[in-house]
């Protein structure tokens, strides 16, 4: 045998280590590339979700010394992300913009999700490959295949959308996946899973669903502990449960959970957060909504459920039964919970994101299992089928991305527009508060950005941050059971809102009641008796339409029936239809005029005598149809029923201006000012006499 030279030995060493080093470089490069793509995609949909501003307001109040509250002096737990809220107090304390910080942190946790997804896939795949006859080439092949779930997740538009939203979604997802990784890595030794217990504790402190996931972890561990105790020494089960390691593991989770629960009971006075009472809706209707929520998810990202089929093949093998059984339990248990509560009120599958990486992992494991299964049977279809499956996955992932790109772009633009809109309204309210030299109280159904950018006391009409509405909701059958209302938030208490005497009530869509809580106000006499639609000029030609609290002088102008007149809530549905058809007519749909008239007749049959809006709407319709005599008649009827109907005054002004009757125009403008239907605090330069009476008519 020839003697080996040192050089030859060195060359051999290089030959052994180079493939490993090259593969490592390739894997790291792939991960960095996918992470970079993920960051790029988050930039493309960069926005801050309106709901995130609720958390920001809690942080601001906490740092400002008001306590962990939404409104100063009101201890209500209106958030579901305790740990995220506490985390954001750090940049807030350091005077770092918490809006930017929330986005950076959210994206960072998204990258960590990609990393842990990759690691769990590798972990489970290595066990499947740890059998006689498996080659190093197969291991290298799977090292690259394990990036498929990362790619699939990166190209999931909903993941990018929520990862930059400023919310806790990715932090919660990372804690859950980290717990899964260490659980599977510990090889069924549940009783010394210190890291698992720690990450589950962090998960539970981040969102309440973390407790559910912990329960599923415990259930699976208990099943296997009981299974392993069969045939074991007497006392095995008891000794394991009561061992030092078991006590430490359980304590790591229970200690922060008990401390947090104790804080909640002491500070807020309730075992569960207020949001649970505001959102909880375990009913047949909720189940129906939950299955609809699942259906849209399957359609958008799982090819109507086809992607769930391939992973089922791997269940036939024995090698991964423990791991696969655990993953399927997590997915099933969590999914049943999401369905039972009716899904999420927010769009784009936020509640499915915690299980989506697991589904993508199972799909990839299914590909590996299929390849190994065909190899063991010496099938000539092994390579073609495996290649086709991988190509299908790539095409499916890019198809998902392209198929949802426009929807996500529209939703991003909508959310940015919503936040900007309510930021502007908050600025107006701040100026009003300064002009009136008082702290305003405002009731609203969309409170996120509005609440953060104003110091006003906010009454959340949906009950998320209001204890009375959440725990003592009102029920009006004609409103609560109306299938035409698309809002999922069904808690409201209109009488309570009116009793709080807010200075202003702001609807989400101007003056039209859209949410259940907004519609409920139209069924309460006190709302009509105490509030009217006021115009607040903000600049030349721009107004904020808001329901303002009446002064005593304005109340004296009320229709006597406004206090005692019976209200049939059925009229609200007809009224919203009437507004809808009027808008279509205004947009040029001349064919809907008859529909407007028919809906007007239905509204008049059911609405209270003091509700003047149907007459005003018909006045507008007749004016646009150039039927001026009838327009004048309807406007007069509107003002006879409610002398504070500013829209009827405006319509009359335009009508008389068109007819050239400047005397009547001036009379209408004078009443607008006499009855204080416009608040010029912000933009005092507006002079309606100059706007409407163009030939110099002014009040005497």
Q: Which helix (H) or strand (E) segment is 57 a member of?
A: helix 52-63
| Residue range 350-367: mean pLDDT, rounded | 92
Question: How far apart are the C-alpha atoms of 639 and 210, rounded to whole Å?
Answer: 56
Q: How many CA atoms lie within 13 A of 450 on its CB side?
A: 23
Question: How far apart are the C-alpha atoms of 670 and 22, rounded to whole Å?
Answer: 84
* pLDDT tens digit sequence for 393-429: 899 899 999 999 999 999 999 999 999 999 999 999 9
- The proportion of the chain whose per-residue pLDDT surpasses 70, expressed as a percent, equals 93
- On the question of pLDDT at 86 being above 80, the answer is yes
pLDDT band at 464 (very low <50, low <70, confident <90, very high): very high
CA proximity to 81, closest of 168, 149, 160? 168
The answer to whether residues 533 and 579 touch, using CB atoms and an 8 Å cutoff, is no
* pLDDT tens digit sequence for 24-34: 888 899 999 99
- Looking at residue 316, what is its pLDDT? 61
* Listed range (36-40, 283-287, 581-585, 612-616) with the worst mean pLDDT: 283-287
* pLDDT tens digit sequence for 365-387: 888 888 877 777 777 777 788 88
- Looking at residue 244, what is its pLDDT? 80
- Looking at residue 13, what is its pLDDT? 40
Question: How far apart are the C-alpha atoms of 593 and 641, rounded to whole Å?
Answer: 24
* β-pair type (531-539, 457-460): unpaired
CA proximity to 583, closest of 512, 528, 652, 490? 512
- On the question of pLDDT at 249 being above 90, the answer is no
- On the question of pLDDT at 540 being above 80, the answer is no
- Looking at residue 141, what is its pLDDT? 79
- Looking at residue 18, what is its pLDDT? 46
The answer to whether residues 75 and 269 touch, using CB atoms and an 8 Å cutoff, is yes
Most confident by average pLDDT, 176-190, 375-389, 550-564? 550-564
- Looking at residue 423, what is its pLDDT? 95
pLDDT band at 318 (very low <50, low <70, confident <90, very high): low
| Residue range 564-588: mean pLDDT, rounded | 91
Q: How many CA atoms lie within 13 A of 129 on its CB side?
A: 22
Written as one string, the DSSP assignment of 316-332 is GSSTTHHHHHHHHHHHH
CA proximity to 313, closest of 389, 416, 217, 202? 389
The answer to whether residues 226 and 237 touch, using CB atoms and an 8 Å cutoff, is yes
Mean pLDDT of the chain: 89
- On the question of pLDDT at 16 being above 90, the answer is no
pLDDT band at 695 (very low <50, low <70, confident <90, very high): low
- Looking at residue 1, what is its pLDDT? 40
Long-range contact set of residues 188-192: C-beta below 8 Å, sequence gap at least 24 = 188/224, 188/228, 188/322, 190/221, 190/224, 190/225, 190/249, 191/240, 191/241, 191/243, 191/245, 191/246, 191/249, 192/245, 192/246, 192/248, 192/249
Question: How far apart are the C-alpha atoms of 697 and 689, rounded to whole Å?
Answer: 7
Residue 457 pairs in a beta bridge with 441
> What pTM was estimated for this model as a whole?
0.91
| Residue range 641-655: mean pLDDT, rounded | 94
- On the question of pLDDT at 190 being above 80, the answer is no
* Listed range (63-67, 171-175, 303-307) with the worst mean pLDDT: 303-307
- On the question of pLDDT at 325 being above 90, the answer is no
Written as one string, the DSSP assignment of 107-168 is HHHHHHHHHHHHHHHHHHHHHHH-STT--HHHHHHHHHHTTHHHHHHHT-HHHHHHHTSSSS
- On the question of pLDDT at 136 being above 60, the answer is yes
């Amino acid at each position: 045998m020839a003697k080996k030279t040192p050089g030859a030995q060195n060359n051999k060493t290089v030959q052994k280590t180079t493939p490993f080093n090259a593969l490592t470089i390739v894997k790291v490069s792939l991960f960095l590339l996918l992470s970079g793509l993920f960051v790029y995609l988050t930039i493309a949909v960069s926005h801050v979700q309106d709901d995130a501003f609720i958390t920001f307001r809690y942080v601001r109040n906490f740092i400002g010394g008001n306590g962990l509250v939404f409104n100063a002096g009101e201890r209500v737990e209106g958030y579901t992300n305790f740990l995220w809220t506490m985390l954001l107090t750090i940049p807030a304390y350091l005077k770092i913009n918490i809006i930017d910080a929330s986005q950076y942190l959210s994206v960072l946790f998204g990258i960590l999700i990609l990393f842990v997804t990759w690691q769990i896939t590798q972990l489970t795949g290595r066990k499947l490959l740890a059998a006689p006859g498996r080659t190093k080439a197969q291991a290298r092949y799977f090292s690259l295949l394990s990036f498929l779930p990362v790619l699939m997740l990166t190209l999931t538009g909903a993941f990018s959308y929520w990862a930059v939203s400023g919310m806790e979604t990715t932090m919660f997802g990372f804690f859950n996946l980290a717990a899964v990784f260490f659980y599977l890595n510990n090889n069924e030794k549940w009783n010394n899973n210190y890291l698992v217990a720690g990450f589950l504790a962090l998960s539970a402190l981040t969102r309440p669903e973390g407790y559910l996931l912990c329960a599923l972890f415990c259930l699976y561990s208990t099943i296997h502990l009981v299974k392993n105790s069969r045939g074991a020494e007497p006392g095995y089960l008891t000794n394991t449960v009561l061992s030092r390691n078991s006590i430490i593991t359980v304590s790591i989770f229970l200690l922060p959970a008990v401390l947090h629960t104790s804080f909640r009971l002491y500070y807020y006075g309730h075992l569960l957060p207020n949001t649970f009472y505001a959102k909880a809706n375990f009913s047949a209707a909720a189940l129906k909504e939950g299955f609809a929520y699942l259906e849209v998810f399957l359609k958008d990202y799982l090819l109507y459920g086809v992607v769930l089929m391939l992973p089922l093949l791997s269940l036939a093998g024995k090698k991964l039964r423990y791991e696969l059984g655990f993953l399927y339990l997590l997915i099933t248990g969590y999914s049943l919970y999401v369905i039972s509560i009716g899904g999420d009120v927010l769009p784009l599958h936020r509640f499915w994101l915690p299980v989506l990486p697991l589904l993508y992992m199972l799909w990839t494991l299914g590909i590996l299992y299929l390849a190994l299964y065909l190899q063991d049977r010496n099938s000539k279809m092994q390579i073609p089928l495996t290649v086709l499956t991988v190509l299908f996955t790539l095409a499916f992932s890019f198809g998902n991305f392209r198929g949802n790109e426009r929807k996500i772009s529209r939703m991003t633009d909508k959310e940015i527009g919503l936040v900007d809109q309510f930021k502007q309204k908050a600025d107006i309210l701040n100026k009003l508060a300064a002009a009136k030299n008082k702290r305003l109280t405002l009731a609203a159904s969309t409170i996120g950005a509005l609440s953060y950018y104003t110091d006003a006391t906010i009454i959340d009409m949906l009950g998320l941050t209001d204890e009375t509405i959440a725990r003592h909701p009102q029920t009006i059958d004609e409103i609560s059971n109306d299938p035409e209302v698309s809002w999922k938030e069904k808690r409201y208490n209109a009488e309570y809102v009116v009793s709080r005497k807010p200075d202003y009530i702001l609807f989400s869509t101007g003056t039209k009641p859209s949410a259940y809580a907004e519609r409920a106000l139209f069924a309460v006499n006190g709302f009509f008796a105490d509030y009217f639609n006021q115009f607040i000029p903000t600049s030349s030609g721009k107004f904020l339409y808001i329901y303002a609290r009446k002064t005593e002088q304005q109340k004296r102008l009320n229709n006597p029936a406004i206090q005692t007149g019976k209200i049939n809530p059925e009229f609200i549905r007809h009224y919203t239809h009437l507004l809808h058809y009027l808008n279509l007519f205004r947009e040029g749909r001349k064919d809907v005029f008859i529909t407007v008239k028919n809906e007007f007749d239905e509204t008049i049959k059911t609405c209270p005598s003091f509700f003047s809006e149907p007459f005003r709407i018909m006045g507008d319709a007749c004016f646009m149809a150039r039927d001026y005599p009838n327009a004048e008649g309807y406007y007069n009827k509107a003002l006879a029923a409610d002398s504070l109907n500013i829209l009827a005054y405006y319509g009359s002004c335009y009508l008389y201006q068109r007819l050239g009757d400047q005397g009547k125009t001036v009379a209408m403008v004078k009443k607008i000012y006499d009855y204080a239907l416009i608040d010029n605090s912000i933009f005092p330069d507006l002079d309606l006499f100059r706007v409407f009476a163009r030939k110099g008519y002014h009040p005497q």
